[in-house]
């Protein structure tokens, strides 16, 4: 389109729905290009328009026009907004996109000319969008040869940005029965590439983009694609984190497609990969993918998969921690543990680890769409109770099983036989013992208070779930003060299981967050702290809710520890420090400057996170020194007053 070529066009700021593409050309009456795509879209006769579009798709890869990137941008927008529209898929768009990708890979001079560098990305994205929902479209795509060029992009022939859209498209193609085998022709290579990319993509994105603090040194077309050409460096960083998370999660999704068919399990379940898998949770920017635990659950559905998972201590421990967290994917962690416990081939390999975690979940009610989950867990634990007692020499496991038996079997039987008057007497007695325990707690006699809370729990009827929740939560506070995080996690988890709905008791969430922090489990601590803050917001009677400073401080600490690029940053910083130390330069000066830069980055990120809460947080997260001193003075108040507030 000659007249358009004379204008400087930004493909990222133009509205490009299918109607808008046609409207763009209405303003131009002097187009002399007979094969102009925009003029083609103006054709009122449907049959003529379809023929013209089909011809355009055939010719486009073999012509060289400056407006190709604008056309691709428009096609991308149409594919994103109307992925189920059959018009373009039926007219040869997939073959056109495949040829454009090949052209970008094989003709470097063309790729670097004008704005052609954007074309392979858009082409792969168009393929992925149209193959998202319709199996008919995936069959057409495979027939028109999209898999080989997508594989080239997956191999890293251009950059991580193109790898992201390639693995997305391949995941869609592999998810359908009719097109799975076409992807499976490259089975071993696809799996190895997906595993490698999942393990290394965060470091690659950090080194090549997010970690490049001089924005002028960042690859310009990456910046444009990330922000649509209208964002600043902060937006680039946020989008870079989001895209890196998506890249990792889509790699895991592609592996899921093979794992659910029990293909190449020995390759996917290599122990070195499983150890790294636990860290692939996608970060806070991941709102929709189960990430690592989704793949683990798929593996647990097969006999061979369970065998491999049972041999990975790292996986088992992480799944156990997930099952006792307020993470959205908690139910998946519980599913994995139940699958392992109900399989006789894996039960006794993992029982001694799992039992000490899931015993805290036996009173869990409903979780999502899973009713009476606690009863299901109890049945799995007591599946062969008498044999289990003999098989396990670990005294903690034996006591745990005995406690479950006493709580869920013996005690339930006894209370069923009790009259209502007898149960009421027990409730009154429990209330008196609880008051005693509270008094001891206020006096600072923590161990004595803990014993009294235990006594009250032993007497409290099982139907008094709310009272038992408070007792467990108060006992968790005692364990915290005695520096026993394991018992604090156990009791606060039991309290949260008794809450209605589950994981909704604010004090227990905060106490477990502190306990996880003591154990160095930053992600679990962060999830509980976020839930605690959500509870504070929902319980507020005014529009402006004050978030406790200590909770905001915990959020700040754990966000930095769990930042998606934390490991890559640490590795890069250490590597740079070693290089500087080995050189003859001024190591101290460079190191100080680097630390200041890292400090500033952390401060900016934390500030960004809480900016969304600016209307409800009275005190900023990053307080000045004078405010810090006020907080410290407040913490030095009398022990009795502090303990009274915590009850």
pLDDT of 628 > 60? The answer is no
pLDDT tens profile 525-583: 999 999 999 988 877 655 667 788 999 999 999 999 999 999 999 988 877 767 666 66
Instruction: Report the pLDDT averaged over residues 319-339.
Output: 97
pLDDT for the residue 3: 38
Instruction: Report the pLDDT averaged over residues 508-521.
Output: 97
pLDDT for the residue 548: 87
Among left, alpha and beta (phi > 0; psi -120 to 50; other), residue 54 is alpha
pTM assigned to the model: 0.85
In 542-586, which ranges are continuous DSSP H helix? 549-562, 566-582
Rounded Cα distance, 322 and 314, in Å:
12
Whether 401 contacts 385, CB under 8 Å:
yes
- Joined together, the tokens standing for residue 600 give 């500033």
Instruction: Report the pLDDT averaged over residues 351-360.
Output: 94
pLDDT for the residue 66: 84
Which residue has 């029982």 as its token pair?
Answer: 351
pLDDT for the residue 644: 45
pLDDT for the residue 546: 77
Is residue 285 exposed (0-12), middle (13-18) or buried (19+ Cβ within 10 Å)?
Answer: middle
Instruction: Quickly count: other Cβ atoms within 10 Å of residue 543's Cβ.
Output: 7
pLDDT band for position 314 (50/70/90)? Answer: very high
pLDDT tens profile 592-609: 444 444 433 443 344 343
pLDDT for the residue 647: 52
Rounded Cα distance, 641 and 101, in Å:
69
- Ranking 6-10, 43-47, 424-428 by mean pLDDT, the lowest is 6-10
Query: Nearest to residue 124, comparing CAs of 103, 144, 94, 145?
Result: 94
Compare 393 and 411 and report the one with higher pLDDT. Answer: 411
pLDDT of 332 > 50? The answer is yes
pLDDT band for position 142 (50/70/90)? Answer: very high
pLDDT of 585 > 80? The answer is no
pLDDT tens profile 265-283: 999 999 999 999 999 999 9
pLDDT tens profile 573-584: 877 767 666 665
pLDDT for the residue 230: 81
Rounded Cα distance, 146 and 98, in Å:
5
pLDDT tens profile 83-102: 999 999 999 999 999 999 99
Task: State the DSSP string of 167-195.
Answer: HHHHHHHHTSHHHHHHHHTTHHHHHHHHH
Rounded Cα distance, 441 and 637, in Å:
16
Report the percentage of the chain scoring pLDDT > 70. Answer: 82
pLDDT tens profile 11-59: 544 333 445 454 444 444 456 666 688 888 888 898 999 999 999 999 9
Instruction: Report the pLDDT averaged over residues 449-462.
Output: 96
pLDDT for the residue 509: 97
pLDDT for the residue 535: 87
Q: Tell me whether the omega of the peptide bond preceding residue 501 falls within 30 degrees of 0, making it cis.
A: yes
Compare 29 and 381 and report the one with higher pLDDT. Answer: 381
Q: Taking all residues of the chain, what is their mean pLDDT, rounded to a whole number?
A: 86
pLDDT of 399 > 50? The answer is yes
Report the percentage of the chain scoring pLDDT > 90. Answer: 71
Q: What is the helix (H) or strand (E) element at residue 154, kind and residue range? A: helix 147-154
- Joined together, the tokens standing for residue 503 give 């994981």
pLDDT for the residue 631: 43
- Joined together, the tokens standing for residue 167 give 């693995």
Instruction: Report the pLDDT averaged over residues 463-473.
Output: 97
- Joined together, the tokens standing for residue 240 give 């870079």
DSSP letter assigned to residue 367: B
Instruction: Report the pLDDT averaged over residues 316-336.
Output: 96
Query: Nearest to residue 554, comparing CAs of 610, 599, 499?
Result: 610
pLDDT for the residue 624: 39
pLDDT tens profile 201-243: 999 999 999 999 898 899 999 999 999 878 788 999 999 999 9
């Amino acid at each position: 389109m000659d007249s358009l070529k004379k204008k400087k066009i930004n493909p990222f700021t133009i509205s490009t729905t299918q109607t808008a593409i046609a409207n763009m050309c209405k303003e131009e009456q002097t187009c002399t290009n007979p094969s102009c795509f925009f003029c083609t879209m103006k054709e009122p006769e449907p049959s003529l328009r379809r023929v013209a579009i089909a011809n355009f798709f055939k010719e486009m890869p073999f012509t060289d026009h400056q407006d190709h990137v604008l056309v691709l941008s428009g096609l991308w927008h149409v594919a994103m907004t109307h992925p189920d529209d059959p018009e373009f898929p039926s007219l040869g768009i997939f073959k056109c996109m495949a040829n454009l990708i090949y052209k970008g890979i094989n003709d470097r001079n063309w790729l670097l000319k004008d704005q052609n560098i954007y074309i392979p990305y858009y082409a792969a994205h168009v393929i992925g969008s149209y193959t998202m929902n319709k199996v008919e479209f995936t069959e057409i795509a495979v027939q028109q040869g999209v898999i080989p060029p997508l594989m080239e992009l997956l191999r890293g022939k251009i950059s991580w940005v193109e790898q992201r859209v390639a693995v997305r498209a391949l995941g869609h193609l592999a998810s359908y029965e009719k097109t799975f085998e076409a992807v499976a022709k490259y089975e071993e290579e696809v799996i190895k590439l997906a595993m490698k990319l999942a393990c290394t993509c965060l470091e690659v994105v950090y080194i090549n983009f997010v970690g490049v603090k001089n924005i002028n040194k960042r690859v310009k077309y990456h910046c444009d694609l990330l922000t649509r050409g209208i964002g600043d460096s902060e937006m680039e960083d946020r989008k870079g984190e989001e895209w890196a998370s998506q890249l990792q999660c889509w790699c895991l999704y592609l592996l899921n497609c093979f794992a659910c068919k029990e293909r190449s399990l020995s390759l996917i379940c290599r122990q070195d990969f499983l150890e790294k898998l636990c860290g692939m949770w996608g970060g806070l920017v991941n709102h929709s993918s189960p990430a690592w635990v989704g793949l683990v659950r798929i593996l647990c559905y097969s006999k061979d998969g369970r065998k491999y998972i049972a041999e990975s201590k790292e996986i088992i421990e992480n799944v156990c921690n997930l099952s006792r967290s307020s993470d959205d994917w908690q139910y998946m962690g519980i599913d994995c543990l139940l699958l392992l416990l109900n399989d006789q081939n894996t039960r006794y390999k993992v029982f001694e680890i799992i039992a000490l975690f899931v015993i805290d979940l036996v009173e869990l009610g409903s979780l999502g769409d899973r009713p009476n989950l606690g009863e299901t867990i109890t049945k799995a634990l007591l599946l062969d109770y008498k044999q289990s007692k003999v098989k396990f020499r670990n005294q903690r496991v034996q006591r745990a099983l005995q406690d479950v038996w006493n709580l869920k079997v013996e005690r339930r039987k006894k209370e069923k036989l009790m009259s209502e008057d007898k149960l009421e007497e027990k409730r009154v007695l429990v209330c008196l013992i609880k008051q005693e325990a509270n008094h001891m707690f206020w006096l600072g006699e923590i161990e004595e208070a803990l014993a009294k809370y235990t006594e009250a729990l032993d007497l409290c009827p099982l139907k008094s779930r709310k009272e038992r929740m408070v007792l467990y939560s108060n006992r968790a506070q005692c364990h915290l003060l005695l520096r026993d995080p394991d018992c604090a996690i156990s009791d606060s988890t039991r309290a949260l299981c008794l809450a209605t709905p589950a994981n909704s008791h604010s004090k227990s969430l905060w106490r477990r967050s502190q306990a996880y922090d003591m154990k160095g489990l930053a992600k679990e601590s962060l999830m509980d702290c976020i839930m605690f803050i959500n509870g504070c917001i929902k319980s507020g009677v005014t529009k402006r809710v004050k978030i406790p400073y200590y909770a905001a401080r915990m959020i700040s600490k754990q966000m930095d520890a769990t930042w998606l690029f934390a490991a890559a940053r640490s590795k890069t910083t250490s590597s740079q420090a070693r290089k500087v130390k080995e050189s003859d330069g001024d190591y101290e000066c460079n190191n100080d400057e680097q630390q200041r830069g890292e400090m500033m980055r952390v401060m900016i990120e934390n500030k960004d996170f809480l900016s969304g809460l600016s209307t409800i947080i009275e005190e900023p997260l990053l307080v000045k020194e004078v405010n810090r001193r006020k907080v410290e003075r407040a913490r030095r108040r009398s022990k009795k007053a502090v303990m009274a507030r915590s009850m």
